[in-house]
């Protein structure tokens, strides 16, 4: 949801609130020593000692399943072993120059029983007291308060599928059982957790322990959890969002002590409106590797069918609350200047104005020219060969809609309506349209929007900006009420419906778009909020290029007021030429399509036209060559050497990046705020596109190469074909 740009907006910072269920400092200490004796539960608990482990085959030759799960990190070609070592079960990955072991010693029922041993490092915990939060009557008991419970477990069974063990927590006469199934796939330890009873309120992955001086690493566009970088190793720990039975996930990422760090997630199982919880089912992936790519999630989605059509496109936004004819004049001028392959989006156009009476948007607002003027704008775009999209929204449901019905509003667990967007300009509160109703409601409007205004693309507001668990409907009348998986399924269906209806690509807001990559064709690729201003985000492009790039065509790197924000406040005016180079350099680094924000942000229409011309001339030719190509090498320039992201993170030098693609394209981008980057090639390219220094002045050029030496200033770039 984005406000109309000419409104006065107050940016409210969103702070990460620490959940009360996060484990306390055990025994008042920040540090725990690794021993063979569990620290928790305490001696007050009645505890059944670990039973003998049964191996069905020779311990070092158990076969390993090759499939960890839909969103598990890609599996390395490694030799895996699973074997018993005394009372422990060891899951081992062996590769040349690297040894990794996950050791599980059944003792406490929590993931404190799981430690990591990698190369010569001291063992450490990846999930110190991770595990269930039990619901006994009206009381929640986290597993790290296990002294309040009595424990037992089944005999651990080691099979070709891994280790299976069932734990039971007993409080008085009431017991809760849950099953762990561990298996190893490459460098990833897969943990599947099940409980047939709806008596588990949450599952925590907690925090690391014995990881002194580790660093939490936020990766651009991986918005729902972070990584940890510890002594040259990357750690990831996350839930498989395609297999979860939870109501919602919560990102928990903050230092706990000098040697303990939250960097992962919790899964919450909240009751539906009938006070019923879904039974626990989660799959967790723990991965430790020296290579960043080894710990990043896979995205198992089909690629967009519109990648080729969107290659080299330039997207222009119209957020203005003015007559459609003003936008038409600009479209005609862009066409007159010979600018090709544009996609224009008109956001405010609806009958009641922007963010009001949704989903009742038809006809177009009379005071802006109504249907005739909007059709004329669409025709001007079509005549110029441009794609044309209108803003749609099937999240926000207003009480002044012609279709308003409380039966279609998503519910909170206690039965109240779930709030959505609050329109500050009108004072109207919208409520969440139940995702289960989204396609049916869209079917009453989208086909008519397409018929009236001849759209050739669509812009879907909100849906891809947030993870599906933020829009869960707890209404028990739906079988999946209280599960976010229903939202994911409903919004995927909605995206497919809009693509078919408008006979063109569906675009949206960025934020949680990695979850929907490929189902949505592209998004306005904003960075996650924890980075602050978009212009401060380092060009760590690995996740975006390795996982998202093959599935979708993103554009821009955020709306200008937020990309250029200062001191936490949006910057609504005063954009300079240097600002534009900064923005374009970031687009090019991530291989995003060109984008220009709404004309109202510029002092004059002519300045806006110049920015569009610059994007078309400088960014689009590069995007045309990288959009469908596969990245084969990503390295960073550190003190004269080209190194992988692993070494660049160690040195804190991630601002100068080189990406090579399988079609021969090479792209150098210098996002360093102060330092230049001298690039000296060993050959004369056949084609170049650059913004570099020549005789101490910046020169922009696209065409035949004339030299092999380029000095890239801050926010300069060089793209070349051999």
CATH code of the domain containing 637: 2.60.40
Q: Do residues 328 and 279 both lie within one domain?
A: no
Domain range spanning residue 119? 44-295
- Is 680 inside any structural domain? yes
What is the structure's pLDDT at 194? 97
Q: In the prediction, which pLDDT does 4 show?
A: 36
Other beta carbons within 10 Å of 596: 27
Residue 102 sits in the same domain as residue 165: yes
Count of Cβ atoms closer than 10 Å to residue 573 Cβ:
10
Identify the three-state secondary structure at position 572.
coil
Co-location of 653 and 592 in the same domain:
no
As a whole number of angstroms, the distance between CA 19 and CA 134 comes to 16
Last residue of some domain: 626, 658, 678? 626
pLDDT at residue number 67: 60
CB 576 within 8 A of CB 691: no
Is residue 372 assigned to a domain? yes
3-state secondary structure of 687: strand
Spans of the chain, pLDDT less than 70: 1-67
Q: 638 and 622, same structural domain?
A: no
**584 and 492 in one domain?**
yes
pLDDT attached to residue 246: 98
What the block records as the tokens of 623 is 């995007």
β-pairing verdict for 506-509 and 458-460: parallel
Q: What is the pLDDT of residue 575?
A: 97
Number of H helices, E strands in the chain: 12, 38
Which run of H or E residues covers position 614? helix 605-614
- The token duo for 676 is 């230049």
**538 in the same domain as 646:** no
Indicate if 273 and 171 belong to the same structural domain: yes
CA distances to 71, 222, 239, 246, 523 from 243, rounded to whole Å, are 9, 18, 8, 9, 25
H-state helical runs in 127-270: none
Token pair belonging to 250: 């919560």
Domain membership of residue 459 (yes or no) is yes
620 and 655 inside one domain: no
Instruction: Look at residues 266, 295, 324 and tell me which one is the last residue of a structural domain.
Output: 295
Same domain, residue pair 218 and 279: yes
The domain spanning residue 218 has which CATH number? 2.70.98
Pair (249, 328) in one structural domain: no
Query: What is the structure's pLDDT at 78?
Result: 80
- Confirm whether 431 is domain-assigned: no
Selection from 306, 392, 315 nearest residue 348 by Cα: 392
3 inside domain: no
For residue 696, the cross-strand partners are none
Q: Which of 237, 267, 295 is a domain's end point?
A: 295
Cβ atoms of 304 and 553 within 8 Å: the answer is yes
Q: Is residue 429 domain-resident?
A: no
Tell me how many domains the chain contains.
3
For residues 59 and 148, state if they share a domain: yes
Q: What is the largest CA-CA distance in the chain?
A: 83
One domain for residues 646 and 591: no
| Residue with token string 């002590």 | 257
For residue 523, is it within any domain? yes
Quote the CA–CA distance of 197 and 524 in Å, as a whole number. Answer: 42
Tell me, yes or no, whether 213 lies in a domain.
Answer: yes
């Amino acid at each position: 949801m984005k406000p109309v740009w000419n409104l006065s907006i107050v940016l409210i910072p969103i702070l990460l609130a620490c959940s009360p269920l996060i484990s306390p400092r055990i025994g008042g200490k920040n540090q725990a020593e690794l021993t063979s004796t569990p620290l928790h539960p305490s001696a007050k608990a009645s505890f059944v000692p670990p039973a003998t482990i049964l191996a069905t085959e020779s311990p070092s030759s158990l076969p390993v399943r090759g499939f960890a799960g839909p969103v598990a990190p890609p599996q390395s070609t490694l030799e895996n072993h699973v074997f018993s070592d005394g009372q422990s079960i060891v899951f081992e990955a062996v590769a040349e120059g690297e040894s990794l072991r996950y050791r599980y010693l059944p003792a406490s029922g929590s993931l404190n029983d799981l430690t990591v041993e990698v190369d010569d490092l001291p063992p450490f915990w990846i999930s110190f007291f991770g595990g269930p939060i039990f619901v006994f009557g009206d009381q929640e008991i986290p597993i790290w308060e296990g002294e309040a419970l009595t424990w037992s477990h089944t005999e651990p069974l080691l099979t070709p599928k891994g280790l299976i063990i069932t734990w039971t927590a007993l409080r008085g006469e009431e017991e809760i059982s849950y099953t762990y199934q561990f298996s190893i796939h490459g460098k990833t330890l897969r943990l599947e957790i099940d409980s047939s009873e709806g008596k588990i309120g949450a599952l925590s992955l907690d925090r690391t322990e014995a990881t002194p001086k580790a660093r939490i690493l936020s990766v651009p566009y991986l918005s729902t959890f972070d990584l940890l970088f510890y002594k040259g190793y990357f750690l990831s720990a996350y839930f498989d969002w395609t297999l979860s039975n939870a109501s919602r996930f919560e990102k928990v990422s903050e230092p706990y002590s000098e040697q303990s760090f939250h960097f992962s997630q919790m899964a919450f199982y909240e009751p539906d409106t009938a006070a019923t919880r879904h039974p626990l089912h989660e799959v967790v992936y723990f991965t430790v590797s020296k290579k960043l790519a080894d710990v990043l999630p896979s995205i198992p989605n089909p690629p967009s069918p519109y990648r080729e059509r969107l290659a080299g496109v330039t997207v222009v936004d119209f957020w203005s609350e003015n007559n459609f004819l003003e936008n038409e004049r600009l479209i005609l001028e862009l066409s007159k200047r010979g600018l090709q392959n544009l996609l224009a989006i008109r956001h405010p156009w609806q009958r009641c104005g922007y963010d009001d009476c949704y989903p009742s948007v038809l006809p177009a607002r009379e005071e802006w020219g109504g249907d005739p003027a909007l059709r004329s704008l669409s025709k001007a775009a079509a005549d110029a060969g441009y794609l044309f999209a209108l803003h749609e929204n099937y999240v926000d449901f207003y009480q002044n809609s012609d279709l308003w019905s409380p039966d279609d509003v998503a519910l909170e667990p206690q039965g109240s309506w779930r709030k959505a967007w609050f329109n500050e300009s009108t004072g109207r509160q919208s409520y969440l349209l139940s995702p289960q109703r989204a396609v049916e409601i869209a079917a009453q409007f989208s086909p008519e929007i397409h018929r009236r205004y001849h759209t050739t693309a669509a812009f879907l507001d909100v849906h891809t900006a947030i993870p599906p668990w933020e829009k869960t409907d707890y209404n028990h009348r739906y079988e999946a009420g209280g599960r976010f998986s229903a939202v994911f399924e409903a919004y995927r269906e909605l995206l497919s419906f809009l693509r078919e209806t408008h006979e063109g690509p569906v675009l949206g807001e960025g934020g949680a778009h990695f979850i929907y990559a490929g189902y949505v064709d592209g998004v306005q690729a904003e960075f996650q909020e924890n980075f602050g201003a978009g212009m401060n985000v380092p060009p760590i492009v690995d996740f975006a290029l390795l996982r998202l790039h093959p599935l979708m065509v993103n554009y821009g790197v955020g709306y200008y007021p937020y990309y250029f924000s200062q001191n936490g406040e949006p910057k609504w005016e005063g954009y300079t030429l240097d600002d534009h180079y900064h923005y374009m350099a970031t687009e090019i680094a991530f291989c995003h399509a060109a984008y220009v924000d709404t004309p109202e942000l510029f002092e004059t229409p002519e300045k806006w036209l110049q920015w569009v011309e610059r994007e078309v001339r400088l960014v689009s030719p590069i995007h045309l060559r990288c959009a469908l190509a596969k990245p084969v090498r990503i390295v960073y320039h550190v003190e004269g050497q080209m190194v992988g992201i692993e070494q660049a993170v160690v040195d804190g030098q991630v601002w100068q990046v080189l990406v090579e693609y399988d079609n021969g394209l090479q792209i150098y981008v210098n996002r360093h705020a102060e330092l230049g980057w001298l690039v000296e090639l060993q050959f004369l390219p056949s084609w170049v596109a650059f913004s570099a220094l020549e005789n101490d002045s910046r020169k922009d050029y696209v065409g035949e190469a004339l030299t092999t030496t380029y000095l890239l200033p801050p926010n300069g770039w060089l793209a070349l074909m051999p």
